[in-house]
């Protein structure tokens, strides 16, 4: 059975919001330049569909000598899809080449700029999913005698797509 090693998973972000069609594990020199968020300890992808239901009466036609019959019926369907990607990690203001650092994340959330975000692994058997969206939250927190941590969420503006 093939599994994805969690140590190979990251949230990749391109702040220029370019289109993407290549393997995110190989995009640091490609276009877009998807870069992993540095010092991340976890990355997640969450996709949910809004649902709705309708209650109505189903009418059975009248026959000779009988009246129309009404029976309660429930209709159920799926509406819009919402997708969010999130990342958590150890906070550091250090900068590294080919990585998205905390200052970049902070600048993007304040600037309300659209970004390209992809949840991906560089395992050979893994898939990658992402799209364009906005960084909707950014938090840095610290406790006494503990490491400072950060978290960041990206909400996609459309349906997620699978990246090759």
Whether the per-residue pLDDT at 111 is higher than 80: the answer is yes
128 and 159 in a single domain? The answer is: yes
As a whole-number percent, the residues of the chain with pLDDT over 70 amount to 82
Could you read off the pLDDT of 18-56 as tens digits, one per residue? Answer: 655 544 444 444 455 778 888 888 889 999 998 888 777
Count CB atoms within 10 A of the CB of residue 12.
27
100 sits in the region (left: phi over 0; alpha: psi -120 to 50; else beta) called beta
21 and 89 in a single domain? The answer is: yes
Q: What is the pTM of this model?
A: 0.74
Could you read off the pLDDT of 71-94 as tens digits, one per residue? Answer: 877 777 888 889 999 999 898 888
Give the position of tokens 């902070």. 106
Q: Residue 107 falls within a domain, yes or no?
A: yes
Count CB atoms within 10 A of the CB of residue 68.
9
32 and 57 in a single domain? The answer is: no
Q: Residue 1 falls within a domain, yes or no?
A: no
127 and 57 in a single domain? The answer is: no
Q: Which domain holds residue 70?
A: 50-79
pLDDT of residue 5: 60
pLDDT of residue 18: 62
Domain count, the chain: 2
């Amino acid at each position: 059975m093939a599994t994805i090693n969690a140590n190979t998973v990251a949230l990749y972000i391109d702040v220029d919001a370019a289109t993407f069609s290549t393997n995110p594990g190989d995009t640091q020199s490609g276009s877009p330049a998807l870069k992993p968020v540095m010092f991340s300890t976890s990355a997640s992808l969450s996709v949910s569909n809004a649902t709705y239901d309708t209650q109505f009466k189903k009418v059975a036609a009248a026959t000779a000598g009988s009246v129309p019959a009404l029976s309660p019926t429930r209709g159920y369907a799926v509406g819009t899809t919402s997708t969010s990607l999130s990342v958590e990690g150890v906070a550091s203001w250090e900068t590294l080449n080919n990585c998205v650092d905390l200052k970049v994340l902070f600048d993007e959330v304040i600037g309300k700029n659209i970004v390209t975000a992809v949840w991906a692994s560089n395992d050979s058997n893994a898939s990658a999913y992402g799209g364009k969206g906005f960084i909707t939250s950014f938090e840095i927190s610290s406790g006494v005698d503990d490491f400072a941590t950060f978290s960041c969420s990206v909400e996609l503006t459309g349906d997620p797509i699978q990246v090759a």
